[in-house]
């Protein structure tokens, strides 16, 4: 069996090593271009243009095959198209170098227009994006500020050097004008990617591709500036082209490695946009000093534009802070309300128009012994005492028909152990509230209070020793009996019993024996009277 040893480099590592060798060769090639006369170096440069795009294109194709997500595959498909356009550009220039074909030059210029837009779209599509619309808007504003500022600087430099806008006399002129316009769009895209670099939200391959686009942009600028004033391009244009090839090789081969985990950045760079606004105003100040009317007009427009963009950015920032604070306050209020409902001592329930419970708070568990999920779906009147049922129905009818918005009632409710518990219920009509759409009932358990009231009332009418009625109960019953005589003639009898020598019992046997005697007599009297008769203790004996 044949296998790969642990110390042998993997296939992907070989690709990355090849890119480093590629960079070293590019550096040596640039040095050679400065040492060797141009007429001697041109054949090597022309032939090298056919070879240098092959490594990035092959690596991009390999990455496209490996990307698992549709978004990643789409991004690298766009990058591959852009690199293919770059290869076509180099091939056509090689043809022109061989046969001096003007047609090949024109087609090459058109194919070169494909490179930067497609590579830029691929990087934008395949890299990490902000996860909220607000932060995406802030990044677009930052990119626009940076791009407008750099355009203002470039236009000022061209004007200061004596350059002017080229007239459109032919298709070739249109292509020559279109190239810097595409460069400006590329610049805006690079600025957008720059704003994504905060906290490492761009992988290495995306940064390398941005560097390649920036080298291409610099090559076009360094070529366009001298040509616009009738001069030859400087030596560092070749350096920019070599840099473009090297960065493409590093970027495409680095993408063969899986992207390291990283947190998505939602915060745009905070200082960079303001720096470029300052640059715009510096350009305007220089133009005023040099009395360049064209630059004064263009830099004024750029300064006004970036100022408006900064104001829009500040508005988004303030709105973001405000909405964040509002959301945080709302979340705290909701959490506080949920905690109050969850730990409240009162039962909170919501019933619909059919008097069916749609929500029950957790307090149902420890008040009536039933879990909330067992309560939901039941009718509110199912467990109400029959003596209190009519009162409850009348209150709910008034709420449902709009005759009242708030009702209170005291009813008895059967708990899980079949015992009756007294509840003080306050019902509010919130059927018009979309979030509630029902009647909210707040029930407070008053069972202990009711039992205490009954106990106190019983003590006020009963003799504590014998349990018989006291003088107050006796007088009340006599009064009622006399009133009944006025409605229906009958008879009323009062029998007074007195224990003779009761004081002798207390004095000889003690008060405990005397109390026992009173209790025994009370029990005997209670046993021999009718159910409707009243037995009361009026005095000591």
Per-residue pLDDT reduced to its tens digit, 328-360: 877 777 777 677 666 667 888 889 988 899 988
374 token code pair: 């067992």
Per-residue pLDDT reduced to its tens digit, 197-208: 554 566 778 778
d(CA 381, CA 361): 17
Question: What is the per-residue pLDDT for 38?
Answer: 63
Counting runs of H as helices and runs of E as strands, what totals does the chain give?
A: 18, 5
d(CA 89, CA 53): 10
d(CA 114, CA 118): 6
Report yes or no: 403 and 309 within 8 Å, Cβ to Cβ: no
Q: Is the dihedral of CA 273, 275, 279, 284 positive or negative?
A: positive
Question: What is the per-residue pLDDT for 427?
Answer: 92
Per-residue pLDDT reduced to its tens digit, 499-535: 888 888 888 888 888 888 888 888 898 888 888 888 8
Phi, psi of 257 (to 5 degrees): -85, 145
Question: What is the per-residue pLDDT for 468?
Answer: 84
The answer for residues whose C-beta is within 8 angstroms of residue 348's C-beta and 6 or more apart is 341, 359, 360, 361, 363, 440, 441, 442, 443
Question: What is the per-residue pLDDT for 325?
Answer: 76
Q: Is 500 helix (H, G, I), strand (E, B) or coil?
A: coil
* Residue ranges in the chain whose pLDDT is less than 50: 1-8, 168, 199, 229, 264-269
Phi, psi of 425 (to 5 degrees): -110, 130
Question: What is the per-residue pLDDT for 16?
Answer: 74
Specify the length of the chain in residues. Answer: 541
d(CA 291, CA 500): 135
């Amino acid at each position: 069996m044949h296998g790969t040893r642990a110390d042998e480099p993997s296939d992907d590592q070989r690709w990355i090593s090849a890119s480093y060798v590629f960079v070293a060769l590019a550096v040596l090639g640039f040095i050679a271009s400065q040492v060797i006369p141009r007429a001697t170096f041109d054949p090597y440069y022309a032939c090298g243009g056919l070879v240098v795009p092959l490594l990035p294109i092959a690596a991009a194709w390999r990455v496209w095959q490996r990307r698992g997500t549709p978004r990643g595959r789409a991004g690298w498909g766009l990058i591959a198209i852009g690199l293919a356009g770059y290869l076509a550009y180099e091939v056509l220039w090689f043809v022109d170098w061989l046969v001096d074909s003007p047609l090949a030059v024109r087609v090459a210029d058109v194919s070169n227009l494909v490179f930067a837009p497609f590579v830029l779209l691929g990087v934008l599509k395949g890299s990490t994006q902000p996860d909220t619309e607000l932060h995406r808007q802030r990044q677009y504003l930052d990119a626009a500020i940076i791009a407008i500022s750099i355009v203002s600087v470039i236009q000022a430099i061209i004007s200061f050097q004596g350059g002017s806008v080229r007239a459109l006399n032919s298709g070739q002129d249109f292509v020559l004008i279109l190239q810097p316009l595409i460069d400006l769009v590329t610049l805006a895209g690079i600025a957008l990617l720059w704003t994504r670099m905060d906290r490492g939200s761009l992988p290495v391959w995306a940064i390398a591709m941005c560097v390649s686009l920036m080298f291409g942009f610099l090559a076009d600028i360094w070529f366009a500036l001298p040509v616009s004033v009738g001069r030859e391009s400087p030596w560092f244009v070749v350096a920019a082209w070599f840099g473009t090839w090297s960065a493409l090789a590093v970027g495409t081969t680095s993408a063969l490695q899986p992207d390291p985990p990283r947190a998505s950045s939602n915060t745009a760079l905070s200082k960079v946009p303001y720096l470029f606004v300052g640059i715009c105003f510096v350009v305007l100040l220089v133009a005023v000093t040099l009395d360049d009317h064209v630059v004064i007009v263009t830099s004024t427009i750029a300064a006004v534009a970036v100022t408006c963009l900064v104001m829009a950015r500040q508005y988004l920032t303030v709105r973001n802070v405000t909405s964040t604070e509002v959301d945080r306050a709302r979340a705290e209020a909701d959490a506080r309300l949920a905690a109050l409902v969850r730990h409240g001592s009162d039962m909170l329930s919501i019933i619909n128009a059919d008097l069916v419970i749609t929500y029950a708070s957790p307090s149902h568990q420890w008040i009536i012994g039933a879990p909330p999920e067992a309560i939901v779906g039941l009718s509110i009147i199912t467990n109400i005492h029959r003596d209190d049922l009519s009162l409850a129905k009348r209150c709910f009818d008034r709420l449902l028909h709009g005759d009242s918005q708030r009702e209170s009632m005291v009813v008895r409710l059967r708990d899980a152990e079949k015992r009756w518990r007294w509840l003080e219920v306050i019902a509010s009509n919130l059927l018009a509230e979309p979030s509630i759409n029902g009647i909210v009932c707040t029930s407070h358990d008053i069972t202990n209070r009711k039992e205490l009231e009954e106990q106190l009332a019983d003590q006020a009418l009963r003799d504590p020793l014998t349990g018989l009625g006291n003088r107050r109960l006796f007088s009340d019953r006599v009064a009622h009996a006399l009133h009944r005589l006025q409605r229906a003639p009958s008879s009323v009898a009062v029998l007074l019993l007195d224990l003779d020598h009761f004081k002798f019992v207390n004095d000889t046997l003690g008060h405990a024996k005397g109390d026992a005697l009173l209790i025994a007599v009370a029990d005997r009297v209670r046993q021999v009277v009718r159910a409707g008769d009243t037995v009361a203790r009026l005095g000591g004996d």
